[in-house]
Amino acid sequence: MKIAVFGGDGIGPEVTAQAVRVLEALDLPGMELAEGDVGGAAYYKHGHPLPAATLDIARASDAVLFGAVGDFSCDHLERHLRPEQAILGLRSHLGLFANLRPATTFPGLEHMSGLKPEIARQIDLLIVRELNGDVYFGEKGTRVLDDGRRQGWDIMAYAEDEVRRIAHVAFRAAQGRAKAGQPGKLCSVDKANVLETSQLWRDVMIEVAADYPDVELTHMYVDNAAMQLVKSPGQFDVVVTGNLFGDILSDQASMCVGSIGLLASASLGERQTAFGTFGLYEPIHGSAPDIAGQGKANPMATILSAAMMLRHSFAREAEAARIERAVAQALADGVRGGDLGGSAGTAEIGDAVLERL
């Protein structure tokens, strides 16, 4: 079980260290960890945010545990040298097109949500975010127009096969989450009233739906989805959307359940290993420069990402569920980081999860 560990910048290494403690505590046979440099840390050391050696480590592994990248001291660099290119590069080079971002309210945390507790309590959803296309990976540039004005541009595009493959992932997820005897529920979020990219997205979703008669497909415009997510989030089960909308809606979903320090993610592609599906696992949050180096970050999102790794990349459902129960129990026992109005530090939260594990 080869796991690449890329801590990255800011709180990235702090939170991955706790997830590694949890993985090591399980004492899984043949688990090997290999560290690599990414982000600003890699740029300052090797001159590139995603050195070839790091990519090689990822390719030689069965899964990647990723912290976060981002360092404001790199904001002046050309875009291809900025820290964020490390995660974008890993996602595209490794073909990780399907990003699963579950959001569920932990019992006892209803009062930490930005929503009313009785509304927050209903949240149990999964955002399936496309990760290899959209305006993120289209051509982009800046130019000077004939009249002398500067213009920045980014092309938003999806090819039908890119939409089809993420649609299949989402429909299967909806099937898997369906309650016995009930249809699965999938809501596709787009902006088809304005964007051609979204119209194609919607058309392909409808085509793929024919293969899944046991899943109910609905469509929602992204602006309405942002509103519905705070009005009545309990209506959503699986939400499938593009790269940009998924980025924004998942940060919003995190505050609906209480904190961005709780949301985990799995990024999957087609590659199969001896154990399961190759994947990259990371919290949805960033490097949090405002609290970096202070031992204050909540590592739960990263610990929960390690649980997703055991589930998807190593077919270790029992251990994944054990980690999730340990985190839920720590929260139920009142263990709270600063993001949840408490004072427990990063290592202390790690200790609390380990004790319950």
| Separation between Cα atoms, residue 170 and residue 201, nearest integer Å | 13
Report residue 210 CA to chain centroid gap.
Answer: 28
> Is the Cβ of residue 184 or residue 261 nearer to Mn ion in the bound state?
261
Catalytic one of 2, 124, 221, 251: 251
Q: Which of 14, 37, 84, 339 binds ligand IPM (CB under 6 A)?
A: 84
| Separation between Cα atoms, residue 54 and residue 35, nearest integer Å | 8
Determine if 247 is a binding residue for ligand IPM (CB under 6 A): yes
> Is the Cβ of residue 68 or residue 169 nearer to ligand IPM in the bound state?
68
Q: Which of 3, 120, 284, 349 binds ligand IPM (CB under 6 A)?
A: 284
> Is the Cβ of residue 110 or residue 162 nearer to ligand IPM in the bound state?
162
| Separation between Cα atoms, residue 33 and residue 191, nearest integer Å | 42
Report the chain's terminal Cα–Cα distance, integer Å. 21
Catalytic one of 62, 247, 281, 339: 247
Catalytic one of 136, 158, 212, 281: 136
DSSP secondary structure, 36-58, as one string: ---HHHHHHHHSSSS-HHHHHHH
Interacting residues with Mn ion between 268 and 307 (CB under 5 A): none
Angstrom distances, CA of residue 17 to CA of 14, 132, 235, 271: 5, 28, 36, 27
Least distance (Å) between residue 134 CB and ligand IPM: 10
Active site residue 179: no
Q: How many residues bind ligand NAD (CB under 6 A)?
A: 22
| Separation between Cα atoms, residue 301 and residue 15, nearest integer Å | 8
Q: Which of 71, 247, 282, 324 binds Mn ion (CB under 5 A)?
A: 247
Active site residue 231: no
| Stated length of the chain | 357
**Residue the block writes with tokens 């092309």:** 155
> Is the Cβ of residue 243 or residue 313 nearer to ligand IPM in the bound state?
243
| Separation between Cα atoms, residue 298 and residue 313, nearest integer Å | 24
Kindly write out the interface string for residues 14-53 of this chain, putting x where it contacts ligand NAD by CB under 6 A and - elsewhere.
-x--------------------------------------
Determine if 89 is a binding residue for ligand NAD (CB under 6 A): no
